[in-house]
Structure 1
Amino acid sequence: MSSQVLAPTLVIRTSCSDDVNGMLPLMRQLRYPTTPSVLKEHLSMLDNHPLFCNLVAELDGNVVGTTFLKLYQTHDMKKPVTQITAMVVDEEHRGTGIGKRLLREAETWCKQHGSSQMYLSTGDRNMDAKTFYEHLGFICTGYRLSKTLS
């Protein structure tokens, strides 16, 4: 008698406002302060917006990763570029390929929307994230400068 071992099913899909409860723990892992109502409002605003995309990675029906994308183009660009404004895989599932799959789907969305490049910022103390992105072909260039306006 042979026994079957079922592998977990990973699905990458566009998020919806019903994903709030699954995404809240991920946002907290990123140290993004949010509440269920604020996150639901933000996800609702992203629904069918042509310049934004939020993907989730769902493992056996549970949200275990997410990435937020923002497409933009300025007067001096021939093609738009896409900023990854947030990306996280649940701590218990890191190193399993979920982040790589999320980025592949993100690249597909970017190409479908005419984007010529993806970019992001990571904290200077997050070397694991920097290594992850560089392993997937991202190149570290320059410095990010910012100014808080009061």
Structure 2
Amino acid sequence: MIREASPDDIDELFELWRELLHYHQGHHAVFKYNPNQEHVLKSELLTRIKDKNTRVFGYMQHDEWVGMIITSFKEGVSGFKLSRKGLIAETVVKESHRGSGIGKELLEAARNWLEDMGADHIELQVSVKNESGLAFWQNQGFTPSTYHMILELKDAGKKK
């Protein structure tokens, strides 16, 4: 069953989000997080749940959160053909429930909300090392439009 998350769901949803974070640790430095800063990450997730232009949809099965999708709406520059952007930030389904259609149902909930908000397209990013994620999104009709590239700056955190 799909349900819109509320702030009261933060602990259970954070466990799902942490599973997603763990899965991506070996993909690239951009996905690495500091386990000693989980309170900061939990605060970020709570901020997203409370944001009026963001929805967090969860999939519940037997009173357990087994999937989640975070989606946002952003009004862009009207001079572009596609200016009313739907964004999918993160999607996770517990490993034991993958392949059961939960991801499709979560995407459908996000898509319906984004269409109600007036979005004219949906964008997302997926790790190039996440072969199953790439296959899932391509099977849902998503196609690449750009390459998101990263250059890690070694001295970026140091003040001059």
TM-score range, shorter chain: 0.7 to 0.9
- Are 2:76 and 2:85, in contact at CA under 8 Å, matched by a contact in 1? no
Alpha-carbon distance, 1:104 to partner: 0.4
Task: Quickly say closer, same or farther: Cα 1:61–1:46, change in 2 above 3 A.
Answer: same
Structure 1: which amino acid aligns with 2:49?
A: L
Unaligned runs of 5+ in 2: 23-32
Distance 1:109 1:66 in 2: 15
TM-score normalised according to structure 2 size: 0.76
Residue in structure 2 matched with residue 16 of structure 1 by the alignment: 6
Residue in structure 1 matched with residue 122 of structure 2 by the alignment: 118
Task: Quickly say closer, same or farther: Cα 1:42–1:126, change in 2 above 3 A.
Answer: closer
After superposing on structure 2, the runs of 4+ consecutive aligned residues of structure 1 that deviate more than 4 Å are 146-149
Distance 1:103 1:144 in 2: 22
In the alignment, is residue 136 of structure 1 matched against residue 126 of structure 2? Answer: no
The alignment partner of 1:68 has SS state of: strand
The alignment partner of 2:118 has SS state of: coil
Distance 1:41 1:148 in 2: 22
Residue in structure 1 matched with residue 54 of structure 2 by the alignment: 52
Distance 2:47 2:149 in 1: 31
The residue correspondences of 1:1-80 to structure 2 (distance < 5 A) are 11-31=1-21, 33=33, 35=38, 38-39=41-42, 42-44=45-47, 46-47=49-50, 49-75=51-77, 76-77=79-80, 79-80=83-84
Greater shift in the superposed pair: 118-127 or 70-79: 70-79
Residue in structure 2 matched with residue 88 of structure 1 by the alignment: 92
Distance 1:68 1:129 in 2: 15
Residue in structure 2 matched with residue 6 of structure 1 by the alignment: none
Between Structure 1 and Structure 2, the one with more helix by share is 2
The alignment partner of 1:55 has SS state of: strand
Unaligned runs of 5+ in 1: 1-10
Distance 1:41 1:50 in 2: 14
In the alignment, is residue 127 of structure 1 matched against residue 131 of structure 2? Answer: yes
Structure 2: which amino acid aligns with 1:66?
A: M
Identity of aligned residues (%): 25
Alpha-carbon distance, 1:40 to partner: 5.1
RMSD: 2.2
